[in-house]
Structure 1
Amino acid sequence: MARRNKIYEGKAKIIYEGPEPGTIVQYFKDDATAFNAEKKAVIEGKGVLNNRLSEFFMTGLQAVGIPTHFIKRLNMREQLCRQVEIVPLEVIVRNYAAGSMAKRLGLEEGMQLPRPIVEFSYKDDSLGDPLVPEEYIAAFGWATQQELDEIVSMALRVNDFLSGVMHGVGIRLIDFKIEIGRVWENDFQRLVVADEISPDSCRLWDIETGQKLDKDVFRRDLGNLTDAYTEVAKRLGVLPSNVTHPNKPTLIN
């Protein structure tokens, strides 16, 4: 198969044209970044793990009636997805105070919030993905009020699903971020969960020990990131329990 045309390359993935109109191929890189890409590293096996974990979460969401752009995994590093128009927002759902929220409000990390809180940040790396209120989103036309209402509802449903799945394997879902895309079916527009769901985009703490099993391991130099992601994959049954780390992958074209 000929190499696909590259559409876009981000910090963690490369997007290629798909084999059929209306499709794309997501390639998961081993690159890890933090603090708006001020900290960078290549973590062998990270892309393979995120591909498998995102497949697990996306198919799980679809099974409970939450639409996503995911179609199927193609190989160890690539998955076939529907092409979408990305809403230029990161949708953040917080269950516990951590990260920027804890710093911003002077809260103790790990404090349970009174209820899940949905925040929006404007997707622009050069600006540091600033938090924006719903009034800005509507005023600048990034999403309509009807879309915002649907996005909040969808984000909370994703939270319910992810929280339950993680709790079942002894992991606390602290927070996560998702992206939303628009797709057209005939003359009707539909919102779907897009991009990826993986430990790159979630904060995951062991319920018993508080051990971090997400990208904070890299951000804060807390150990081996691949080991943390492998632990999540093993608990979820994505990898066999006797696997210590995924073998160095070979891309199958």
Structure 2
Amino acid sequence: MTTTVGDFLVERLYQWGVRRIFGYPGDGINGVFGALSRANGKIEFIQARHEEMAAFMASAHAKFTGELGVCIATSGPGASHLLTGLYDARMDHQPVLAIVGQQARAALGGHYQQELDLLSMFKDVAGAFVQQASTPEQVRHLLDRAVRTAVGERRVTAIILPNDVQDLPYQEPARAHGTVHSGVGYSKPKVVPFDADLQRAAEVLNAGRKVAILVGAGALQATEQVVAVAEKLGAGVAKALLGKAVLPDDLPWVTGAI
């Protein structure tokens, strides 16, 4: 069976480690939904009651798993309904990818039914990377760059797929001038503070007599270190909303979420 652009997109998302997508179906994105169905459950689809909730769910998935959150919607009003949830992700610096449909390429610019200027609409919330595909050969590097930008910069990104492109046979980019070739994979860097900054932080802690600590999302991978510092100082620890998973609430010196 011919591999469509939709089939390629689903398989590429799987290669990037995506195992769950939140969204709501519609005619403008049917090519991708058909591919999800043919993929036999490789990627789980969670249908929300409304596209806005799908975007919030993708944002929450990113917040509490550390993985890329992915939401999907049809063209026009389906795409515009994602915005509020996507702004939640943007404001909390979460990696979220929005995949939305669009009217057929031949109709664009004709004030066709439910045709919106999605590139302009998403430019603010997904300004780190938002692009519309016009050929099957584009889809590989559009998806790769959208995912890599989202996870590397902790930003919202978006790709727009005209409905006729989704059902076209997928084609790899030619080995020719004017083409782009991308691949799957991203390794997060290890970020270590300068010694002088660590020393300055230690001086602040050592100078304190009644130290209180507020931890947030930045401490999610540092539970052991937070426990060691708190016990050494005899400090109480409060947790910001996105830091709730840093420490269990049953520790005697944890005051819970603020």
Could you state the TM-score of these two structures normalised by the residue count of structure 1? 0.23
Q: Which is higher, the Rg of structure 1 or of structure 2?
A: 2
Higher relative contact order, chain-length normalized (CA < 8 Å, sep 6+): 1
* Structure with a larger share of its residues in strand: 1
